[in-house]
């Protein structure tokens, strides 16, 4: 490394890696270090760099509830900490590995739809069973909150602002599939 311009040397090395010694299809004929390159001498330059295999992404299951009635769709605010922290969403069960069959708290029957919501987050994938629950007219909001969590009856504008995984559930629930 030249002592008078180390920054230029480092930048030139970075540019060489970006333009000539690329991870796929290296251009060894243009490389000024070709004769000193051990990968070129061994004929393994196309196999470099060696990348570690990605770890398997964990898979979780859960249930999302489309709770609807004359006042709209019941929405809850997710906990401030954690995934989708502080955002509005549809009520859900915990998302965990293993069998999570839909369980309803309260007296309402729900219809589980055939198609699950499948969503991939950066660190796990998720399948949610979608359960449609109709709340009869005159049911106190406190009863709905007891069964599905503190929330409110959301408007169309509230529904439009839901995160992607909840939008997928919304679409399935509205289509009734």
Q: What are the structure tokens assigned to 56, written together?
A: 């398997």
Both 114 and 166 in one domain: the answer is yes
Does residue 54 lie within any of the structural domains?
no
Residue 23 is part of a domain; what is its CATH number? 1.10.1670.10
Q: Is residue 152 domain-shared with residue 111, that is, in the same domain?
A: yes
Does some domain include residue 90? yes
Range 81-107 average pLDDT: 78
Residue of 174, 135, 67, 109 whose CA lies nearest to 76: 67
Is 39 domain-assigned?
yes
Q: Would residue 1 count as lying in a domain?
A: no
Q: Is the pLDDT of residue 85 over 90?
A: no
Residues 89 and 30 reside in one and the same domain: no
Whether residue 23 is found in the same domain as residue 101: no
Residues 34 and 72 in one domain: no
Q: Which of 28-42, 89-103, 142-156 has the lowest mean pLDDT?
A: 89-103
Does residue 92 fall inside a structural domain? yes
pLDDT 10s digits, 21-79: 888 788 888 889 889 988 889 988 888 888 888 888 899 999 999 999 999 999 999 98
Taking 60 as the threshold, does the pLDDT of residue 105 lie above it?
Answer: no
What local confidence, expressed as pLDDT, does residue 171 receive?
94
Domain count, the chain: 2
Does residue 119 have a pLDDT over 90? yes
Alpha-carbon gap, residue 128 to 117, rounded angstroms: 5
pLDDT of residue 109: 62
Residue 52 included in any domain: no
Tell me how far CA of residue 146 lies from CA of 36, 78, 151, in angstroms. 71, 16, 10
**41, part of any domain:** yes
Q: Which two tokens stand for residue 63?
A: 């249930």
171 and 151, same structural domain? yes
- Considering the domain architecture, whether residues 66 and 133 belong to the same structural domain is answered as yes
The band of 111, judged by pLDDT with boundaries at 50, 70 and 90, is confident
* Whether residue 80 sits in one domain with residue 110: yes
Give CA–CA dist 139/93, Å, rounded. Answer: 22
Task: Tell me the residue range of the domain where 24 lies.
Answer: 6-47
**pLDDT at residue number 177:** 61
Give percent of the chain above pLDDT 70. Answer: 93
Find the range with the poorest average confidence among 13-17, 107-111, 127-131.
107-111
Q: Which of 157, 170, 172 is nearest to 116 (CA)?
A: 172
DSSP labels, 85-115: TT-EE--B---BSS-------SS--EEE-SS
Same domain, 12 and 79: no
Mean pLDDT computed over 167-177: 88
The CATH number of residue 155's host domain is 3.90.79.10
């Amino acid at each position: 490394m030249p002592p008078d311009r180390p920054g230029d040397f480092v930048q030139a090395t970075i540019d060489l890696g970006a333009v000539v010694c690329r991870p796929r299809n290296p251009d060894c004929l243009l490389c000024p270090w070709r004769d000193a390159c051990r990968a070129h001498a061994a004929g393994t330059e196309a196999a470099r760099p060696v990348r570690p295999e990605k770890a398997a992404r964990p898979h979780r299951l859960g249930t999302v509830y489309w709770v609807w009635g004359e006042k709209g769709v019941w929405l809850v605010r997710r906990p401030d900490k954690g995934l989708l922290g502080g955002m509005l969403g549809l009520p859900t069960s915990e998302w965990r590995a293993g069998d999570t069959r839909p369980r309803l708290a309260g007296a309402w029957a729900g219809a589980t739809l055939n198609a699950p919501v499948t969503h991939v987050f950066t660190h796990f994938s998720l399948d949610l069973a979608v359960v449609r629950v109709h709340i009869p007219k005159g049911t106190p909001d406190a009863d709905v909150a007891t069964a599905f969590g503190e929330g409110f009856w959301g408007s169309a504008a509230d529904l439009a602002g839901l995160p992607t995984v909840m939008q997928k559930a919304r679409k399935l629930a509205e289509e009734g599939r």
